[in-house]
């Protein structure tokens, strides 16, 4: 019964590209199937989900990153993702994000 299951990460159909944003080297991962985007920060090794804006990436909430890393590829664009994409925050919003995190527990 031991069927090797693709890891959640490998279930996506990633296109990757390297870029620099504000002098920070990043690797962007874009899934051709579900349209989700992740960014790896080369300097820190940190990986997180992002919303791709016209000029920059907006980091999504830690909950969204954790959920997306856990999920595996849904194989299509999900309506729920539009909600997740609204969780993006700039550093100034982190306090609010912390607050809503505590409230939802």
Q: In the bound complex, what is the minimum distance in angstroms from residue 30's beta carbon to Zn ion?
A: 9
Q: In the bound complex, what is the minimum distance in angstroms from residue 41's beta carbon to Zn ion?
A: 21
Please, which residue, 12 or 59, has the CB nearer to Zn ion?
Answer: 12
- Quick one: CA torsion of 60, 64, 65, 68, rounded to 10 degrees? -130
Binding to Zn ion, residues 12-71 (CB under 5 A):
12, 31, 33-34
Burial of 53 per CB tally in 10 Å (0-12, 13-18, 19+)? exposed
Q: In the bound complex, what is the minimum distance in angstroms from residue 71's beta carbon to Zn ion?
A: 9
Alpha-carbon distance of 86 to 36, in angstroms, equals 13
Please, which residue, 12 or 88, has the CB nearer to Zn ion?
Answer: 12
Please, which residue, 30 or 97, has the CB nearer to Zn ion?
Answer: 30
Size of site (CB under 5 A) for Zn ion? 5
Q: Is the dihedral of CA 78, 96, 104, 69 positive or negative?
A: positive
Binding to Zn ion, residues 73-92 (CB under 5 A):
73
| Among the listed residues 42, 37, 44, the one whose alpha carbon sits nearest the alpha carbon of residue 25 | 42
Residues within the interface to Zn ion (CB under 5 A): 12, 31, 33-34, 73
């Amino acid at each position: 019964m031991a069927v090797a299951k693709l890891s959640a990460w490998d279930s996506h159909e990633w296109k990757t590209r390297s870029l620099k944003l504000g002098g920070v080297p990043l690797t962007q991962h874009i899934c051709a199937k579900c349209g989700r985007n992740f960014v790896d920060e080369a300097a820190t090794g940190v990986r997180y989900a992002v919303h791709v804006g016209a000029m920059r990436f907006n980091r999504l909430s830690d909950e969204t990153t954790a959920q997306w890393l856990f999920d595996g590829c849904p194989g299509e664009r999900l309506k729920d993702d539009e909600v997740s994409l609204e969780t993006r925050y700039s550093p100034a919003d982190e306090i609010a994000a912390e607050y809503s995190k505590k409230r939802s527990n």
